[in-house]
Amino acid sequence: MRTVTPMPKLASNPFKKHQHSQCIRDALHSAEGLCKKNGFRLSNVRKRVLELIWESHQALGAYAILEQLGKEGVKPAPPTVYRALDFLLEAGLVHRINSLNAYIGCNHPKDSHHGSYFLICQHCHIVAEIHDKRIDEEVASLAERERFSISERALEISGTCQHCQETQHAR
Amino acid sequence: MRTVTPMPKLASNPFKKHQHSQCIRDALHSAEGLCKKNGFRLSNVRKRVLELIWESHQALGAYAILEQLGKEGVKPAPPTVYRALDFLLEAGLVHRINSLNAYIGCNHPKDSHHGSYFLICQHCHIVAEIHDKRIDEEVASLAERERFSISERALEISGTCQHCQETQHAR
DNA sequence: ATCTGTAATGTTATAATATAACACTTTGCG
DNA sequence: CGCAAAGTGTTATATTATAACATTACAGAT
Ligand SMILES: [Zn+2]
Ligand SMILES: [Zn+2]
Ligand SMILES: [Zn+2]
Ligand SMILES: [Zn+2]
């Protein structure tokens, strides 16, 4: 197919200019691989929802997805989208950004995350998924001190990205 | 005036048995102090909402608050509660738990938080606000590496508290 | 190729959470 | 008191999400 990339998945920084069509291709390709491997069924709806989410690095709401699907044919009812989202969340292909009620594509769907953390620019609305072992460790140690057994964690950091700082969109 | 009080506010661990009426008293008292100091108006509605939120260490939804207010007199419309919540959030007297769409009292409303982090027990639904300088630092350093200017942060850790682990409510 | 059970999707209705817009009331202050 | 600002009431509606049940598509067995 395509040239074999040297680094299997070093996600590009979504705040910086980059060849985004490559993000989309990678995401779709790795989603297909993961589904095949685990016996998940990546149906048309599910795949299309994933594609829509990956069209940008901005988090996309369920009803925005619905809207888009509507423009491409018959507009489905909300459960269709929410079911696709549930599947994608379960499969680890997307993340929900709780502070936005919206969804973004996971940038490393193969790894089982310990923790993934999000930088959310309030100006351009781009969301970057970050992995940070040291935060993982501090969180684990915090939980251990409190004898708390972790099942999920979500760190959402809102602010202004470098690009928006430079272009004075920041106030 | 320094270090006259032994420890002005060492919040008790909400997962452990404790004299909760003391939590409520402390919270209300310190809310009044803070409002007086900053010229905020702690009206009846606002105060009552804060009390309701402090009735337990479980996060309370806006409509649950509404329900409670209804039992105590005339049931107000949603905006009344949301406005009170907005005020309390602004004043730093409560926090919103995004993963639950619900609200809990802040356990140290005087300090300006750098970060506060939440342990959320999925069994007893108690939420504990935690402060951790080392996580603060890691988050700050992460943001610096990415040249990201932080305005808000929310870390929500879900799982099982010690008490619920011991009493086999955990599965 | 047909059958068959499960998974996926369609459909309708409704729940749960949150806000907009405008009217009215209270409060602090000159 | 009289005024302006802040707070609250009221009505309507927006936004996000799920329940319940009918129908269809799909993979594996015969
Ligand atoms: Zn990209
Ligand atoms: Zn930005
Ligand atoms: Zn308590
Ligand atoms: Zn518990």
Residue percentage of chain B with pLDDT more than 90: 78
The pLDDT tens digits of the residues spanning B105-138 come to 999 887 666 778 999 999 999 999 999 999 999 9
Domain locations in chain A as residue ranges: 17-107, 113-171
Determine whether the interchain pair B149/A142 forms a contact, defined as Cβ–Cβ distance below 8 Å. Answer: no
Cα(A164) to centroid(ligand 3), Å: 42
Cα(A43) to centroid(ligand 2), Å: 33
CA distance B18 to A21: 56
Q: Which whole number is the average pLDDT over A153-159?
A: 96
Two domains, one topology: B17-107 and B113-171 = no
Contact B115, B153 (CB under 8 A): yes
The pLDDT tens digits of the residues spanning A43-60 come to 999 999 999 999 999 999
Contact B139, A157 (CB under 8 A): yes
Measured CA angle at B104 (ends B86, B100), to 5 deg: 90
CB atoms within 10 A of CB A137: 15
3-state helix, strand, coil in chain A (%, to 5): 40, 20, 40
Backbone angles phi, psi at A156, to 5 degrees: -120, 115
CB atoms within 10 A of CB B74: 6
Contact A151, A80 (CB under 8 A): no
Backbone Cα Rg of chain B: 17
The pLDDT tens digits of the residues spanning A97-107 come to 999 999 999 98
Contact flag, residue A69 CB and nucleic strand C, below 7 A: no
CATH number of B17-107: 1.10.10.10
Assess whether pLDDT exceeds 50 at residue B10: no
Q: Are strands B102-105 and B94-97 parallel, antiparallel or unpaired?
A: antiparallel
Assign B66 to helix, strand or coil.
helix
Strand D nucleotides in reach of protein CB atoms, 7 A cut-off: 6-12, 15-20, 26-27
Contact flag, residue B77 CB and nucleic strand C, below 7 A: yes
CB atoms within 10 A of CB A73: 8
* Selected residue with higher pLDDT from B150 and B6: B150
- Chain B residues whose CB is inside 8 A of the A153 CB are 155-158
What's the Cα-to-Cα distance from B128 to each of A16, A78, B51, rounded to whole Å?
A: 37, 34, 17
Q: Which pLDDT score, from 0 to 100, does residue B167 have?
A: 87
CATH number of A113-171: 3.30.1490.190
Q: Which whole number is the average pLDDT over B42-53?
A: 96
- CA of A59 and C1' of C18: distance in angstroms? 20
Backbone angles phi, psi at A137, to 5 degrees: -65, -45
Determine whether the interchain pair B146/A119 forms a contact, defined as Cβ–Cβ distance below 8 Å. Answer: yes
Assess whether pLDDT exceeds 80 at residue B37: yes
Q: What is the pTM of this model?
A: 0.90
B13 to chain A, any CB pair closer than 8 A? The answer is yes
Task: For chain A, count helices (H), then strands (E).
Answer: 6, 5
Q: Which pLDDT score, from 0 to 100, does residue B9 have?
A: 42
**Which chain B residue's Cα is nearest to A148?**
B161
